[in-house]
Chain A
Amino acid sequence: MNTLLSRANSLFAFTLSVMAALTLGCILTTAFKDRSAPVSLKVSRVLLKKVEDFTGPRKRSDLGFITFHISADLEKTFDWNVKQLFLYLSAEYSTKSNAVNQVVLWDKILLRGENPKLDLKDVKSKYFFFDDGHGLKGNRNVTLTLSWQVIPIAGILPLVTGSGRVSVPFPDSYEIATAF
């Protein structure tokens, strides 16, 4: 250990091994944690229209509009290895042409340090709720759930679904009015 180069070399090697050990420690201590939390969802308004799908394949499809309330306490989900939570509200339903349909209506990024208690009212969907066809008309079993993906500082990326869910019954006829 008598030259600058050999000292720098061993210092560098030591730093790398300590960082690797820390990363491994972070990963192992949080790998099997339960990340779920109770969620309360409520739907205040539902509207159904039939429009040409301007976001993609140009065929006339059912377009739904939903306004909802979300309330959740995600404080327990944050720990030393969580960088952010990616929350998304998704609607899942089944139609004649497709067995499983899932559409994300709204999402939010919750960074570490931000207020983990959510209490949002009258939220409109961020993304257009187009169906692949006409499966929303009269569909009574459209379920809304709030899920989140835990993005760690290092480690596994789990997807967790909140415990609350709400079923949205869609009307049997299309709305002609243009205002929402």
Chain B
Amino acid sequence: MLSLDFLDDVRRMNKRQVRLAAVFAQVPLVLLPLRGLCGPLGQLYYQVLNFGMIVSSALMIWKGLMVITGSESPIVVVLSGSMEPAFHRGDLLFLTNRVEDPIRVGEIVVFRIEGREIPIVHRVLKIHEKQNGHIKFLTKGDNNAVDDRGLYKQGQHWLEKKDVVGRARGFVPYIGIVTILMNDYPKFKYAVLFLLGLFVLVHHSFFNLRGFRFLTISEGAHAQSSSCLSSLAEYRLISSSLVVCGPAQGPASFASSTDALVINRD
């Protein structure tokens, strides 16, 4: 089932986009050796690196999905109620747009009308395909009484393959409600972004939990990593780099390997 034809899609894809994505992926790797930097500058580097990794992974996953499915928008959210009771507002649809699958009646297609940017999810009602593969088709929403000719451009009676964004193959309910909320209530979107930013600034230390190597010296019999966080209440933060617990290392490697030091007196 998995054919290597999708590599043709990679070649056809916007070369600039592919290069951008590749560069994005390289940047964190190139900067990785620099994480040995200590102090607040090293921290900043690490933060930037982390952020860059997350962004580039997300971008790679999205572009990868675009190539595998052949569709320019592999996941869409249903915006209107014209396909009820099958799809309601806020449902997520997974699309594919493979060239070798011909469009047939009964399929749910997501298409874009020329001049309008919002894609529409409806079902194919009628197709006429010529010998050379050129196909023209008509669509209708399940919940609509008439076909979509009223929605098409003035004078346009049929849709063609170039208008199709993809065909719906999979479906998950309700998840897209967040996108709709963010679109309909921009205040909600700004509030979410603001809270996220606030969370990152206030608790940025917790993101460093696994990145920073450190050493805890415990006087007394027990050196526990679990009590380290409770010791925070007793000891102040050392500059802005937070102290967290981790595996204790031998004294020889102490100087080069630790980024911060906590002394826990029991």
Contacts and interface: CB of A to CB of B under 8 A. Distances in A.
B157 A57 contact: yes
B149 to A, nearest CB: 6
A139 to B, nearest CB: 14
A151 B106 contact: no
Interface residues of B, number: 30
Q: Which DSSP category, helix, strand, loop or mixed, fits chain A's interface?
A: strand
A154 interface: yes
B77 interface: no
B169 A157 contact: yes
Contact of A157 (B102, B105, B142, B168): B168
Interface string A93-107: 000011111111000
A141 B129 CA distance: 17
A156 B169 contact: yes
Given A84-B86, A154-B171, A156-B170, A104 B107 contact: no
Contacts of B108: 149, 157
Interface stretch (B22-30, B53-61, B120-128): B120-128
A151 B92 CA distance: 13
Contacts of B104: 102, 159
A83 B87 CA distance: 10
B147 A55 contact: yes
A155 B172 CA distance: 6
B85 interface: yes
Interface in A21-67: 23, 55-57
A83 B84 CA distance: 12
A86 B149 contact: no
Interface in B172-201: 172-173
Contacts of B147: 55, 127
Task: Bin the interface of chain A by size.
Answer: 20 to 34
Nearest to B92: A154
Scoring A102, A147, A159 by chain B CB atoms within 10 A of each residue's CB, the highest score goes to A102
Given A56-B157, A86-B86, A99-B130, A155 B149 contact: no
B121 to A, nearest CB: 12
Contacts of B138: 56
A156 to B, nearest CB: 5
Contact of A103 (B105, B136, B173): B105
A102 B164 CA distance: 18
25 contacts: A23-B172, A56-B138, A57-B157, A86-B86, A86-B106, A86-B142, A90-B105, A98-B128, A98-B129, A99-B130, A100-B102, A101-B127, A104-B105, A109-B85, A147-B106, A149-B106, A151-B87, A154-B173, A155-B170, A156-B169, A156-B170, A157-B169, A157-B171, A159-B106, A159-B107
Given A100-B129, A132-B136, A151-B171, 16 more contacts: A56-B149, A86-B86, A100-B128, A101-B127, A101-B129, A102-B105, A102-B126, A104-B125, A109-B85, A149-B108, A154-B172, A155-B170, A156-B169, A157-B168, A157-B170, A159-B106
